[in-house]
């Protein structure tokens, strides 16, 4: 309800000429009007105050909040990424960053080991890890949350520059009240120490067995190898190859090959190419059994066994029937580097039609390799060793290598297996056949 004084002043305000009032009001933009009950019109007073623009301070510009900024930014969930079509979980083997650590964009936060590869989980943007929700050794499923990260460059900078927390007042007070430590006594004169008595009992007591959980990759390797032995009717045939011509070829052209192609010329490219030729000529060795059917391939994708710290991996060289020596050597070199750093993808280790394993790099003289299912055969290379061999009617010392071909006898007969292995032997002993693509 209006105040009674305002109601009594209304008639006089209506009678007041506006022509004289408006100029006075215009001259005082921030004027304050006060009305009293008696007499209303004469008590009307106008007091000038500074203009509004000078009285009010400029509006403070509020900082615009960017997405993922540290200023009140909400933590975002870091989830276990997709690691392949057939992989649904893995084991978190190591945290590279912990709670409170700053991370850069694409920096590795943790590593998850699967039965095939070790996957690096990377930060999608710069920020600070607020908390982790999975421990090392824990099994984590694809899509499960493993950490909370506050994203933003400001958060990362703040996390990187975090200082040691200030000392609590209570602690400072206690330290101040603590008496000074007495001075250390002067050192005693040096005395020749008696010879230490060997602690044989302690050594025996400390020795013993250690139980270490198998990694996912080792478990998967064990499962696949045993399954191969239980499934395939595995048989191995052997031969030996004279490496004289291939060694001479490599010695003569290795420098020029590396200068032109940027990759070293090794022996593996010759064996891969020879195997590709033999597989196209003996399609049963390149096929596999699927239920009651035999699946033949008109292409050659050779898996090359590479040993790593975590186990054996078999990346696949695609289209070996169309590659030359340079293409094969570049691919093998790239696989070797990325296998040691765990950068191989699952897709690069799937779909091979044949496998070559070179145990000779570790000094193996002879072995019987196990088939990499569902493939039907595997070639084992071994160490090059000088041995006396009959060359014509003479005995000569030649660099020799044993070759072993393990094959699934359910699909491959002895004729095809022996023919395939001898074909490799002939082409390695005369590399001109490989380079020219003809039989000499």
Q: Please give the pLDDT value at position 438.
A: 72
* E strand intervals along 201-305: 234-242, 288-290, 293-295, 302-304
Q: Measured between alpha carbons, how far is residue 341 from residues 103, 105, 118 in Å?
A: 20, 20, 9
Query: Is pLDDT above 70 for 48?
Result: no
Q: Please give the pLDDT value at position 436.
A: 79
Query: Is pLDDT above 50 for 89?
Result: yes
Q: Please give the pLDDT value at position 10.
A: 59
Q: Please give the pLDDT value at position 61.
A: 43
Rounded to an integer, the average pLDDT of 342-359 is 89
Q: What pLDDT, in 10s, does the model give residues 99-153?
A: 999 999 999 999 888 877 788 899 999 999 999 999 998 999 999 999 999 988 6
pTM exceeds 0.85 for this model: no
Query: Is pLDDT above 70 for 190?
Result: no
Range scoring the smallest mean pLDDT among 11-20, 52-61, 366-375: 52-61
Check if 413 is active-site.
yes
Residue 265 and residue 230: Cα distance in Å, rounded?
A: 38
Q: Please give the pLDDT value at position 437.
A: 75
Give residue 164's pLDDT band: very low, low, confident or very high (50, 70, 90): very low
- Copy the structure tokens of residue 94: 């190591």
**354 touches 285 (CB < 8 A):** yes
Q: Please give the pLDDT value at position 308.
A: 77
Contacts of 1 (CB under 8 A, 6+ apart): none
**92 touches 112 (CB < 8 A):** yes
Instruction: Read off φ and ψ for residue 222, nearest 5 degrees.
Output: -60, -40
Rounded to an integer, the average pLDDT of 12-26 is 53
β-pair partners for 112: 92, 119
Q: Please give the pLDDT value at position 157.
A: 60
Residue 136 and residue 384: Cα distance in Å, rounded?
A: 43
- Most confident range (mean pLDDT) of 124-138, 182-196, 228-242 is 228-242
Q: Please give the pLDDT value at position 375.
A: 96
Q: Please give the pLDDT value at position 46.
A: 41
Query: Is pLDDT above 60 for 177?
Result: no
Q: What pLDDT, in 10s, does the model give residues 266-281?
A: 999 999 999 999 999 9
Q: Please give the pLDDT value at position 307.
A: 78
Rounded to an integer, the average pLDDT of 324-342 is 90
Which residue has better confidence, 343 or 387? 387
Q: What percent of the chain is predicted at pLDDT more than 90?
A: 49
Residue 302 and residue 330: Cα distance in Å, rounded?
A: 15
Mean residue pLDDT of the chain comes to 79
Check if 409 is active-site.
yes
H or E element that contains 141 = strand 139-141
Query: Is pLDDT above 50 for 246?
Result: yes
Task: Please provide the DSSP assignment of 157-168 as one string.
Answer: HHHHTPPPPPPP
Q: Which member of 106, 255, 324, 413 is catalytic? A: 413
Q: Please give the pLDDT value at position 5.
A: 59
Q: Measured between alpha carbons, how far is residue 422 from residues 241, 301, 416 in Å?
A: 9, 21, 10
Q: What percent of the chain is predicted at pLDDT more than 70?
A: 70
Which residue has better confidence, 84 or 7? 84
**29 touches 61 (CB < 8 A):** no
Q: Please give the pLDDT value at position 267.
A: 95
């Amino acid at each position: 309800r209006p105040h009674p004084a305002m109601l009594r002043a209304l008639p006089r305000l209506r009678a007041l000429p506006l022509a004289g009032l408006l100029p006075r009001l215009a001259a005082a933009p921030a004027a304050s009007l006060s009305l009293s009950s008696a007499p209303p019109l004469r008590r009307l007073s106008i007091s000038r105050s500074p203009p509004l623009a000078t009285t009010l301070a400029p509006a403070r510009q509020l900082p615009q909040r960017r997405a993922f900024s540290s200023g009140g930014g909400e933590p975002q969930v870091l989830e276990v990424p997709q690691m392949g079509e057939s992989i649904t979980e893995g084991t978190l083997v190591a945290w590279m960053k912990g709670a409170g650590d700053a991370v850069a964009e694409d920096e590795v936060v943790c590593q998850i080991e699967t039965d095939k590869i070790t996957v690096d989980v990377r930060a999608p943007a710069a920020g600070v890890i607020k908390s982790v929700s999975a421990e090392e050794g824990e099994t984590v499923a694809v899509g499960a949350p493993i950490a909370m990260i506050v994203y933003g460059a400001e958060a990362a900078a703040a996390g990187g520059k975090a200082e040691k927390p200030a000392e609590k007042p209570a602690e400072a007070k206690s330290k101040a009240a603590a008496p000074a430590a007495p001075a250390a006594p002067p050192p005693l004169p040096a005395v020749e120490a008696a010879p230490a008595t060997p602690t044989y009992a302690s050594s025996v007591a400390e020795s013993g067995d250690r139980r270490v959980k198998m990694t996912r990759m080792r478990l998967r390797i064990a499962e696949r190898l045993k399954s191969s032995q239980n499934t395939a009717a595995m048989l191995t045939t052997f031969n030996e190859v004279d490496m004289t011509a291939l060694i001479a070829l490599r010695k003569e052209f290795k420098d020029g090959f590396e200068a032109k192609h940027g990759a070293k010329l090794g022996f593996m490219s010759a064996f891969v190419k020879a195997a590709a030729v033999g597989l196209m000529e003996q399609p049963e060795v390149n096929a596999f059994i699927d239920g009651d059917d035999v699946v033949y391939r008109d292409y050659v994708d050779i898996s090359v066994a590479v040993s790593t710290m975590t186990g054996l991996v078999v990346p696949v060289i695609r289209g070996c029937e169309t590659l030359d020596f340079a293409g094969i050597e570049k691919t093998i070199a790239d696989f070797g580097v990325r296998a040691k750093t765990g950068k191989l993808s699952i897709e690069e280790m799937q779909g091979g039609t044949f496998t070559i394993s070179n145990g000779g790099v570790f000094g193996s003289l002879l072995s019987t390799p196990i088939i990499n299912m569902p493939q039907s055969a595997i070639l084992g290379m071994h160490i090059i060793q000088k041995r006396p061999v009959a060359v014509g009617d003479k005995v000569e010392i030649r660099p020799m290598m044993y070759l072993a071909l393990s094959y699934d006898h359910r699909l491959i007969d002895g004729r095809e297996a022996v023919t395939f292995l001898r074909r490799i032997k002939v082409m390695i002993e005369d590399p001109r056949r490989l380079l020219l693509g003809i039989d000499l």
